Amino acid sequence: MKTDTLYQHGTLALLVPGLLTGTLTMKELLQHGDTGIGTGEGLDGELIILAGKPYQVNSRGEVHVVGDDFTLPFANSHFADYQPLMSVESASKTDLNQQILELSGLQNAFFSIKITGTFSGVKTRAVAKSSQPYKSLAETAKQQSVFTRDEVAGTLIGYYSPQLFDGIAVGGFHHHFLADDHTFGGHLLDFAAVTGDVSIQLFSTLEQHLPVDNDDYRQHDFAQDNIKEDVHQAEG
Amino acid sequence: MKTDTLYQHGTLALLVPGLLTGTLTMKELLQHGDTGIGTGEGLDGELIILAGKPYQVNSRGEVHVVGDDFTLPFANSHFADYQPLMSVESASKTDLNQQILELSGLQNAFFSIKITGTFSGVKTRAVAKSSQPYKSLAETAKQQSVFTRDEVAGTLIGYYSPQLFDGIAVGGFHHHFLADDHTFGGHLLDFAAVTGDVSIQLFSTLEQHLPVDNDDYRQHDFAQDNIKEDVHQAEG
């Protein structure tokens, strides 16, 4: 079991023009890890995989476990082997990310972050599934629901990608969240404070898998897309 | 043996500020393929791997087989499983690259190109090894030798990388060359015409390995580098 490899299916860039066809099954994704994040076909919700179980937060805020045949246009997974980094008390999102980078010194590496603890002032989002013909990410992301909780115990699974890889992956931090009681979660937009345990897992290798059998992907001209701008507006 | 995976050690971007320490041995590179290209520590010549044998063209134009302990800052390898694409007669470099893209339809995929045949009006280059403290790619690339042949029989090994990955890999085509008689080769700058057989190998996966244990890489701030400009000037 390779714990030094981060698997990625698709690239962030292909979401920008709306190449949202599910080109990998959950079964396939889970062959590359027991932990991960992603989105479904048509930006169908926000996925978080914990201990081999894939949870989807849909645009109504509901959390469901998805089946093996659920398909994804973009996702990450890896086999968990986190190492403790630090404990935090009432750390803001900005402080947390900064402390992780300073302590780890891994600004130019891919790594995953796992935090278990209590989060306050939490804001998540989940996008509503769209159907073909897909619109651009900028358009589709408008159909997102935002959910908030004053205080919630749960798990954050995030990835950090070097800025060099921005557009391929999400440059910087990208966090998903799932409440312990499975009643709340999604793409983590913000939180005011977290108290809990932070662990990280360094990857020496990014296994970048592309949907080379998908005609829309093969034929698309990415030169016309404003990849970095659109992505960071949508991921905000 | 995975023939659908392209292994890459380092990224093109790390050459720009002069992170030229050899962070992978040839022995390790050959574990990921029997075919490939790369450069040695300090930009020590141009490498081409054919049938498991790593040839180096140094800045005097000499071709040597390098040993297992030869180290590289940036290299690609894969296990050869080329499929015939076409035969060409007196095709220019521009025409060749265009025909390959049109016939294969693989503009958004990583693939390798192998051409055996006779090349005329050939121009190759090899950079001279520099030592620490390393200068930038722009500076080091000035210490390159250019070699020409009116006509030579040999093998071209090249890679095509999607423009999305420009800066990580060399966006577009990147060809190395070795003459059948091993008296000529290097990074292929240009040729007037080639007559021979063209085969390609499609990869669904880029296995991107980063030198995460190298302190200079870990600490470098890439935000200050003009990666794409400097790379394409030097790779020209």
- pLDDT interval class at B29 (50, 70, 90): very high
Q: Which domain holds residue A198?
A: 5-235
- pLDDT interval class at B32 (50, 70, 90): very high
Indicate the number of domains in chain A: 1
| Helix, strand, or coil (residue B177) | strand
Q: Lowest-pLDDT range, A70-84, A105-119, B185-199, B221-235?
A: B221-235
Sign of dihedral through CA atoms B28, B33, B39, B45?
A: positive
* B162 neighbourhood in chain A, CB within 8 Å: 210, 222
Q: Please tell me which of the candidates B204, B210, B221 has its beta carbon nearest to residue A212.
A: B204
Q: Please tell me which of the candidates A168, A213, A227 has its beta carbon nearest to residue B168.
A: A168
Q: How many CB pairs under 8 A join A and B?
A: 86
> What's the per-residue H, E or C state across B121-160?
EEEEEEECCCCCCCCCHHHHHHHEEEEEEEEEEEEEEEEE
> pLDDT for B178-206, tens place per residue?
999 999 999 999 999 999 999 999 999 99
Whether the ipTM is more than 0.90: the answer is yes
Output the average pLDDT for chain A: 95
pLDDT attached to residue A226: 83
Which CATH number characterizes residue A139's domain?
Answer: 3.30.1330.80
- Closest of B215, B195, B211 to residue B86, by C-alpha: B195
CB contact under 8 A, B108 and A165: no
Burial pattern B145-159, b for ≥16 Cβ within 10 A else e, equals bebebeebebbbbbb
Section A180-207 average pLDDT: 98
> pLDDT for B106-119, tens place per residue?
999 999 999 999 99
Of residues B138 and B96, more confidently modeled: B96
> pLDDT for A82-98, tens place per residue?
999 999 999 999 999 99
Best-predicted range by mean pLDDT among A218-232, B8-22, B218-232?
Answer: B8-22
Output the CA torsion A5→A110→A209→A57 (10° steps): 100
Residues of chain B with pLDDT > 90: what percent? 90
> pLDDT for B59-103, tens place per residue?
999 999 999 999 999 999 999 999 999 999 999 999 999 999 999
CB contact under 8 A, A217 and B108: yes
pLDDT attached to residue B228: 77
Tokens of A140: 């589709």
